[in-house]
Chains A and B, each alone.
Chain A
Amino acid sequence: MIGEIRKKRLIEAMVDAGLDGLVLYGNAWQNDYLRYAADFGILEGEGLAVVTKDGDVTLYLDDELEGERASVECPEVKTVVADNLIETVSDVIGRLGNSRIAAGPKRHLPYGLAARRGDLRFEDATALVDRLLMVKTADELAAIRGAARLADEGYAIFRNAAAVGKKDYELIAEIESFFRNEGVDDNFMIIGVGGPEVRGMAPPLGKVLKPGDLVTTELTPCVNGYYVQICRTLVIGEPNEAQRKVFGIYNDALEAGLAVVKPGVTAADIARAENDIFRAHGLGDYVTSEYTRVRGHGLGLFPDTKPHILEDVNTVIEEGMSLIVHPNTYNPEIGYFVHGDSLIVRADGPEILTKTPRKLFSVDAKRAAA
């Protein structure tokens, strides 16, 4: 159903742009373009979806096991498994003749496809598809709300599992197990454990939780293809004064960013509102790229979709977008700290999706790993 709605939008956008065909690439890391057209959550190998203006969508995969799965999970889409993916799709495109074909995302488009196209060249489909990915339909937003509920429940599991003596990857095992039980097929998650020496989050390194540690995480469960994120930080034991003070700054920054969100502002406006709080506390250096990547980002069929919330990104925020605002960055006193909530942009401002309280959680230092 949701796949059909997306396909209809895609075809309309193609017709509006005067395109005859679209070629969309995807893999499990960045699958949003492919999934928009073909509604398949690819896991292994690579895929290309070929869409014609008549509404035909064919999914080309290079992995037989994935082809088998696609035949069950998205039976309405014609799927072709091709060991030589590039040659097969090039032949298909060749048969479309001297027509206007666009492809995307531009950065990932395989070299062999473009090389075989020669002088005809693909037009860049990136902007066309990005707009569809960013501004969502009511059905897409409903799917996002469903994912948000699981992000909150996942964080509760995370909080309850944290204990002195537990290893970081053991915490992640609890979360992933919970998500599989709940039918959540995918989750993007990184973690940080420790104090001022921790400069960011990464996959677990085998660190053992100990009293005084900050435990940061961003959880990003995927439900029906849609990702929603939550960022929170907890302390093992009672938070100290510095940790409480820093939490206050990040919470103010998050709330300042959220307060700005409404149709018509830019991504830069949101980032500036967050960063101004840090600058007011003499922490302006820590909102630069040396210490942080983005101040939030879009959410949808990719966990880090456009727009990136940065002071130099002037994308206009529109009703129907879904975002996370997260003023995550390094703090020299206490280490890397994260705090963020997902939202949907409505006409009157943000609809906050994640309901986990905005507080500095603490875990009883006497709670020991089983």
Chain B
Amino acid sequence: MRHGLILWREDELSTADVKARQARLQAAIAAAGLDGVLIYTNHVRSAGVTWVSGFTPYWSDGLVLVLREGMPIFLTALSKRVGEWVKSVAPTFEVAHSPFPGKLAGERLAKVGAKRLGVVELDRMPGGVVDEIVSVLPLELSDATELFTGVRSQLDRAELNLVRMTDDIAREAFRAGDVTSKFAGDFTGPVERAVRLAGAEECYMAVAPDLSKDRRFIRSGKAELGRTFAVRLSIAYNGVWVRRIETFSAVSEIGARLSSVSAALDRASPAQPADGSISAFYLPDGAKLIDWHLEAPHGTRPLKIVADAETRLAVPVPYGILTTAFVLDDETIVASRPVGVGEKVLREAAE
């Protein structure tokens, strides 16, 4: 559960950045003839609310109600005591408390005479919340996932910069891992320490302990590491999620080759477009691609697979994490890197 540093960092994601996002969403709400949009959050379905407010809960859950005008409202069953903390880390919305946040949302909607409410991922909304809303006023509810995804997909320089910063944290943290570790936990412990010392909000680690046998990732720290192994590091920093997978070996000759491949990927990946294509992606000479997938923020999910060998990218994404698995010199290598965050994209986002 989330328990790393949570701060409002104006220099990385400014109030103006967030207000611009809110304005874009409000324009889309009006254009769709809706009176407002409701977005659910808990610490695993946080991405929608984080994007629109900069806030991620560490505990419990909440709703953000975005009306056509005015500051969004965070509706939560959390206590007023915790509410003070929420305000200190997210000055971008009003915080309203109730043991029944859905009922409170209904009351706020009634106040503005709302008739049509869009709900991001309506099917996934906790049923009790929906019951509370409609107990206050009759509303036409519709799914606003597509509307939200459209607004969310626009390039945002602050977000792209944060993706690059977060990936830098991941790259540096991997240096703390000892490739001669016997067990997965021996390797991941120091890496996680480095991630958290760098001020990350959250860190998940998974390991494919012996790539000669299995490419699947697990969470067990007790797994014994094989000759080559891969580690998946998922980091949340200031609301942005990045994954980086690296492949390692305790055999120095293999390890050196893996380092060289990793460095080449670092040079090539940011400029790769996050468009679900793989054809232009860097692969070392002689490498044979086994598999790939692209992840991106989607709705309330911080990262979700949005394209792979069988599935084309259906909607544009703000950035992506491309994972590839390939064989080189008889060794299986798995790697993940952010894509769509190159200098050219950053310049376009600034314009």
Contact = CB atoms under 8 A, between A and B. Distances in A.
A182 interface: yes
Contact of B3 (A64, A65, A172): A172
B5 A112 contact: no
Given A107-B128, A169-B5, A172-B3, A199 B84 contact: yes
A332 interface: no
Interface stretch (B26-34, B196-204, B278-286): B196-204
B221 A200 contact: no
Contact of A169 (B199, B205, B217, B220): B199
Nearest to B42: A29
A55 interface: no
A111 B193 contact: no
Given A46-B124, A69-B219, A72-B218, A204 B4 contact: yes
Contact of A200 (B81, B89, B219, B220): B81
Nearest to B80: A290
A41 B218 CA distance: 11
Interface in A109-125: 109-115
A183 B5 contact: no
A185 B124 contact: no
Contact of B204 (A43, A170, A289): A43
A5 to B, nearest CB: 21
Interface in A157-188: 169-170, 172-174, 176-188
Interface size class of B (residues with CB under 8 A): 35 or more
Interface string B63-107: 000000000000000011110110011000000000000000000
B221 A187 contact: no
A204 B125 contact: no
Given A183-B185, A203-B2, A204-B3, A114 B221 contact: no
A173 B190 CA distance: 9
Contacts of A28: 1, 43-44
Contact of B126 (A72, A110, A200): A110
Contacts of B185: 180-183
Interface string A184-206: 11111111000000011011111
A364 B199 CA distance: 26
Contacts of A111: 122-127, 129-130
A189 B216 contact: no
A203 B122 contact: no
A170 to B, nearest CB: 6
A73 B197 contact: no
A71 interface: yes
A231 to B, nearest CB: 15
A183 B197 contact: no
B214 interface: yes
B280 to A, nearest CB: 24
B221 A184 contact: yes
Contacts of B214: 72
A205 B5 contact: yes
Contacts of B195: 173
Contacts of B126: 107-111
Contact of A205 (B6, B43, B193, B194): B6
28 contacts: A28-B1, A44-B44, A64-B293, A64-B305, A107-B128, A111-B125, A112-B122, A112-B123, A169-B4, A169-B196, A170-B197, A172-B196, A177-B190, A177-B193, A177-B196, A180-B185, A181-B185, A184-B221, A185-B219, A186-B1, A190-B58, A202-B85, A204-B3, A205-B89, A206-B7, A289-B79, A290-B80, A293-B79
Given A45-B304, A185-B221, A190-B58, 7 more contacts: A28-B1, A43-B219, A46-B44, A106-B128, A110-B123, A110-B125, A205-B88
